[in-house]
Every structure is written in structure tokens, then in C-alpha cells.
């Protein structure tokens, strides 16, 4: 079976337009800020640059659409693109690892999907990305692949299925610290354009803030955080709406999304580690999230952070979930007593990192001894909470001949990992000469994640425990 070269559906123009806007939005914002300049000649130059950018972007959109074709041959997919520089990409069916479909709400009436193909190669993006094609195309490609079972061929009665409930979805969304990432992104964007903002603008804002009063400014700051928090929760609800996990015959199928329905298939042999994560708020509520670290040729989306297979689950339900979905994993949380030296070294390290803040506080408030003492105590307590959690949660041990258990704390998030021996790229014991004399060491476990590596660390453990893991790995 051989098809003629095909173009994507005209709906692909929506995605190409969005991509083009993303590429020019920052230059346009910078140019818009530059329009505040009183120099008329300079303003005319900016207008010309903006016009050229817009014309170039529109032309690029239509060139990308009309010059991009895909063709299904007997043994490969052929992608052709480019106007002046012609590109031809040959993707043999036997090298295809995974086909993922994404369906935005406006594509559903037309039975169209975004289709991404990953191969055994190493690339930061999918080798083939078709923005708007018939949903039947995935079946066509799968029928041409030799010896590959299609996801649609899975029997109606699956071995294991999980469908998220509204209460679980709300718990997951409202307890996520993702809104902090949004704040950091905004601050980073501000850092890039701050030098372009007129000094007079800062002066005017300072005057207005002074006029509003301290309490109003604090209220506005809290309001901004609340808006980011609510926005983050709504985004997560839309992203994981109708989340469904299905496991059958060595494959996990994950479906999720409100405005964009994403369907991903993961073969069990691609799983490098299972990670159970508990941010601080979820620890108090005794709920957790379960993720998979997987091998992929893509470094986009969830791949580099881990694929979520259980958005939220009560901690006492985790053993049952693991038994149903990961039968080969010896699920067990070893009981252990943190060592006193682990607390000592972590508290020492975090206290040293807090010294610059304390020095600044003392320099500013040295005339107010009581306030200085109170603030110093508050800083030391808050700064050392992560040290306490890291010490209490750190442990690595061998579960059986195939798996190790590793637990640590990162940014006050408890991470519990089950790592198979066959996926570990290498182990590294870490200790200084001083710690070696005291028989104390740390361990780094490296596995592949996406197209890169991912490291799991545990610090200040008995050297004998670390050596037992190294011995297990060499056997």
C-alpha cells in the first residue's frame, strides 16, 4: 500500500499561526516598550521593523503549510518540507517507538488530531509532528508497522483501569505547588526586559505604591499569589480532566485533558524508575502522586519531568495500586531510623547557607536588638525545616536482586523511588576524606530520562549501607 503525498488539514494553520506568534511576541513587546521613546525618527524605525516582522511571519506560515507533505510508503513515512532548502525525512516503520495523539476541542467535530511519532533516535523533539490530520491516520500507520500491536486493538475489558474522580482531581490541583513555578517564570521574564523599562516608570510606580500605604501593597501582593494559585489549579484541572489509566499486556495507556485530549502509550520496558512524590501539603493530607521515569527520544512535555500515572492517591492505597499495576515491583517501605550524624551535617550545611541573610539582617537592624533576635530565630527555623525533612527522609537499601529503594527530600517534597537494576546507568559513591574516616558516604543513582539522564541522590548515610548497594549492582 502506497499513498500519494498529502497535506495537513487547513486547521493546521491555527497551530502554525500560534507557533509564529510565540516566536515574535517577545521582540514585539520589546519594540512596543521602545515606542515610549520621544524620538519620532526612532518610532518610525520601530514601526517599519514591526511591519516587516508581521509580513515575514504571515509568509512563513503559508510556506510551512503548503510546502509540508507526508506520504505513507510500504516501509516508511516520508516527510517533505521547505521552499528554498528542501528537506526530506525518511522514518522507517520498524524504528517507530511510539505514536501519540493530541486532540484539541475544536478538532473533535472534524475528527482531526495532532499526531507525533517518536523513533529510536535521539532528538529533543518528535521526528514527525503532524498538526491536523485525520484520526484514522494512526490506524493506517499501525497497520503498516511490522509486529507492532496497536493501542486500539486492546480488548474492551482491560486488566487494570483507573478513572480519576472529581474529588481526587480537586485534591491534586489544589495541593500542587505548581503556582510557584508560574511566579518564577514571570520573574524570569521580567528580568529579561527590566533594563528596557524607563526609569520614570519605576519612579511613578514607587510614588503610587507609597500613596496606597503598606497594608494595601501587602494585600495586592497576596492577591497576585492567590491569582497565580487559582490559575494554576484551573490549568491542572483542565490538563488532567477525565484522567484514565489502562494497563494491559505490558502497555500503559494514559488519556487526559479537557480542551486537549492527550493519549499516550508507554511500554513497560521503557520504564526506568517509579517515583512516589509528596509535596509538603500532600504529606499532611496523606496523599501522593505516582510518576514514571521513562526512556524517550523526546525532551518535551512531561517526558523530562516524569509521566504521571496516578495524579493523587491516599498513601494507604498505594500498596494496592502497586500490586495491581506493577506486579514485578517488590513494593515495600523499609522502616529505618535516621542517623544522628545525618541531622548534624544537614543542619550544619543549611545553617551555613543562611549566614548571608543573617548578616544582612544584623547590618540593617543592629539598632533593634529584640527585632534582630526574633527575625534571626525565624530565619534559622524556616531555613532548617528542609534540613530536618531531608535528614528524616533519606535512605537507600536493596529490596531484592532486581530493585533498590531510595528515598530523599527535595525542596520539601518527599520522593520515594523504586529503581530496577537493569535500568541503572551507573552508581557513584560520594564522600570526602573527612567523611571517609567517619565511615559516612552518599550515593548518586543515574538512570535515563527522556533523552538525557536523571540523578537520584541520598547523602550522609552509613558507608556500609552504600557499599552494600554497590555490591548488589556489581553482582
Q: What is the pLDDT of residue 153?
A: 42
Q: Which residue has the cell 544522628?
A: 340
Q: Residue 186 above 70 pLDDT?
A: no
What is the per-residue pLDDT across 90-113, written as a single tens digit (0 to 9) for each?
988 888 877 888 888 889 888 899
Distance CA 392, CA 342 (A): 8
Instruction: With CA atoms as reference, report the closest residue to 308 among 247, 256, 248.
Output: 256
Q: What is the pLDDT of residue 375?
A: 83
Q: Is the dihedral of CA 431, 434, 436, 441 positive or negative?
A: negative
pTM of the model: 0.74
Confidence of residue 304 (pLDDT cuts 50, 70, 90): very low
Residue 271's beta-bridge partner residues? 294
Instruction: With CA atoms as reference, report the closest residue to 460 among 434, 438, 442.
Output: 442
Sequence-ordered list of residues with C-beta below 8 angstroms from that of 374, at least 6 positions apart, any chain: none
% residues pLDDT > 90 (the chain): 31
Q: What is the pLDDT of residue 453?
A: 81
What is the per-residue pLDDT across 206-223, written as a single tens digit (0 to 9) for each?
666 666 666 776 777 788
DSSP assignment letter at 39 = -
Strand ranges inside 35-95, DSSP E: 69-72, 76-81, 87-92
Confidence of residue 122 (pLDDT cuts 50, 70, 90): low
In the chain the domains, ranked by start, together with CATH numbers, are: 6-146 (2.30.29.30), 330-474 (2.30.29.30)
% residues pLDDT > 70 (the chain): 84
Instruction: With CA atoms as reference, report the closest residue to 470 among 449, 453, 445.
Output: 445
Q: What is the pLDDT of residue 442?
A: 93
Average pLDDT, the chain: 83
Confidence of residue 470 (pLDDT cuts 50, 70, 90): very high
Q: Residue 197 above 70 pLDDT?
A: no
* 3 state DSSP class of 266: strand
Confidence of residue 159 (pLDDT cuts 50, 70, 90): low
Q: What is the pLDDT of residue 297?
A: 57
Is residue 84 within 8 A of residue 101, CB to CB? The reply is: no
Q: Residue 155 above 50 pLDDT?
A: no
Confidence of residue 467 (pLDDT cuts 50, 70, 90): very high
Is residue 74 within 8 A of residue 241, CB to CB? The reply is: no
Is residue 443 within 8 A of residue 455, CB to CB? The reply is: no
Q: Which of 68-82, 154-168, 454-468 has the lowest mean pLDDT?
A: 154-168
CB atoms within 10 A of CB 46: 18
Higher-pLDDT residue of 193 and 350 is 350
Amino acid at each position: 500500500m502506497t499513498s500519494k503525498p498529502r497535506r495537513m488539514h487547513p486547521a493546521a494553520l491555527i497551530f502554525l499561526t500560534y507557533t509564529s506568534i510565540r516566536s515574535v511576541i517577545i521582540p514585539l513587546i520589546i519594540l512596543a516598550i521602545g515606542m515610549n521613546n520621544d524620538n519620532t525618527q526612532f518610532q518610525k524605525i520601530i514601526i517599519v521593523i514591526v511591519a516587516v516582522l508581521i509580513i515575514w511571519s504571515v509568509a512563513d506560515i503559508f510556506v510551512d503549510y503548503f510546502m509540508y507533505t507526508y506520504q505513507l510508503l510500504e516501509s516508511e513515512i516520508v516527510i517533505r518540507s521547505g521552499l528554498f532548502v528542501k528537506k526530506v525525512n525518511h522514518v522507517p516503520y520498524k524504528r517507530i517507538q511510539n505514536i501519540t495523539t493530541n486532540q484539541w476541542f475544536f478538532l473533535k467535530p472534524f475528527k482531526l488530531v495532532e499526531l507525533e511519532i517518536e523513533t529510536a533516535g535521539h532528538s529533543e523533539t518528535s521526528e514527525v509532528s503532524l498538526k491536523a490530520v485525520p484520526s484514522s491516520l494512526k490506524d493506517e500507520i499501525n497497520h503498516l508497522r511490522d509486529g507492532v500491536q496497536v493501542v486500539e486493538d486492546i480488548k474492551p475489558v482491560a486488566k487494570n483501569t483507573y478513572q480519576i474522580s472529581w474529588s481526587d482531581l480537586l485534591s491534586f490541583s489544589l495541593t500542587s505547588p505548581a503556582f510557584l513555578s508560574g511566579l518564577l517564570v514571570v520573574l524570569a521574564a521580567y528580568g529579561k526586559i527590566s533594563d528596557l523599562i524607563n526609569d520614570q516608570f519605576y519612579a511613578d510606580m514607587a510614588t503610587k505604591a507609597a500613596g496606597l500605604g503598606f497594608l494595601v501593597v501587602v494585600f495586592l501582593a497576596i492577591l497576585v499569589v492567590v491569582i497565580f494559585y487559582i490559575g494554576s489549579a484551573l490549568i491542572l484541572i483542565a490538563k488532567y480532566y477525565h484522567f484514565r489509566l489502562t494497563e494491559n499486556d505490558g502497555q500503559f495507556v494514559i488519556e487526559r485533558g479537557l480542551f486537549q485530549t492527550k493519549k499516550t502509550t508507554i511500554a513497560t520496558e521503557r520504564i526506568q524508575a517509579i517515583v512516589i512524590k509528596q509535596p509538603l501539603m500532600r504529606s499532611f493530607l496523606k496523599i501522593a502522586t505516582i510518576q514514571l521515569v521513562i526512556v524517550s527520544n523526546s525532551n518535551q512535555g512531561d517526558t523530562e519531568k516524569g509521566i504521571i500515572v496516578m495524579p493523587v492517591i491516599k498513601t494507604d492505597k498505594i500498596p494496592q495500586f502497586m500490586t495491581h499495576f506493577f506486579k514485578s515491583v517488590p513494593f515495600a517501605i523499609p522502616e529505618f531510623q535516621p542517623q544522628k550524624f545525618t541531622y548534624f551535617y544537614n543542619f550544619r550545611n543549611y545553617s551555613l547557607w543562611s549566614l548571608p541573610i543573617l548578616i544582612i539582617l544584623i547590618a540593617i537592624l543592629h539598632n533593634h536588638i529584640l527585632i534582630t533576635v526574633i527575625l534571626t530565630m525565624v530565619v534559622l527555623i524556616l531555613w532548617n525545616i528542609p534540613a530536618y525533612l531531608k535528614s528524616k527522609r533519606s535512605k537507600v537499601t536493596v529490596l531484592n536482586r532486581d530493585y533498590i529503594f531510595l528515598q530523599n527530600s527535595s525542596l520539601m517534597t518527599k520522593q520515594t523511588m523504586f529503581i530496577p537494576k537493569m535500568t541503572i546507568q551507573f552508581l557513584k559513591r560520594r564522600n570526602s576524606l573527612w567523611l571517609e574516616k567517619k565511615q559516612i558516604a552518599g550515593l548518586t543513582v543515574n538512570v535515563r530520562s527522556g533523552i538525557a539522564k536523571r540523578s537520584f541522590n541520598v547523602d550522609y548515610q552509613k558507608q556500609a549501607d552504600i557499599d552494600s548497594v554497590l555490591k548488589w549492582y556489581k553482582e
